[in-house]
């Protein structure tokens, strides 16, 4: 299993329910980032808002459908506490102004 939100979506589809787990997780994630990783509330909301924008490209939408999108990556990061993966994902979305 690849984890993330895809198994939940599959389970809901199998049960005949229409549930958008992505939006529910997207609204809860800023709180997790503030409490667990020290983000500011505004920074966490901006970061989560930039993840997996399905309107960007067909590739982003395909990754979401397969279960390897950025929200799924964040699910694994929060579950495992992998700060390096969080840093890499953050740098992909928000390029640093200067390398330290």
The pLDDT confidence band at residue 30, using thresholds 50, 70 and 90, is very high
Residue 38, pLDDT above cutoff 60: yes
Q: Which residues contact 17 (CB under 8 A, 6 or more apart)?
A: none
Dihedral, CA of residue 64, residue 11, residue 85 and residue 29, to nearest 10: 90
The model's pLDDT over 45-88, given as tens digits with 9 standing for 90+, comes to: 998 888 876 666 777 667 666 666 788 888 888 889 999 999 99
Give pLDDT, residue 92.
Answer: 83
């Amino acid at each position: 299993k690849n984890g993330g939100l895809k198994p939940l979506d599959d389970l809901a589809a199998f049960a005949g329910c229409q549930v958008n787990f992505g939006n529910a997780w997207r609204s809860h994630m800023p709180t997790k980032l503030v409490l667990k990783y020290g983000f500011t509330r505004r920074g966490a909301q901006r970061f989560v808002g930039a993840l997996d924008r399905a309107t960007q490209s067909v590739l982003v939408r395909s990754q979401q459908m397969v279960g390897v999108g950025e929200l799924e990556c964040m699910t694994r990061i929060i579950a495992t506490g992998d700060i390096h993966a969080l840093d890499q994902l953050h740098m992909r979305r928000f390029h640093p102004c200067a390398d330290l």
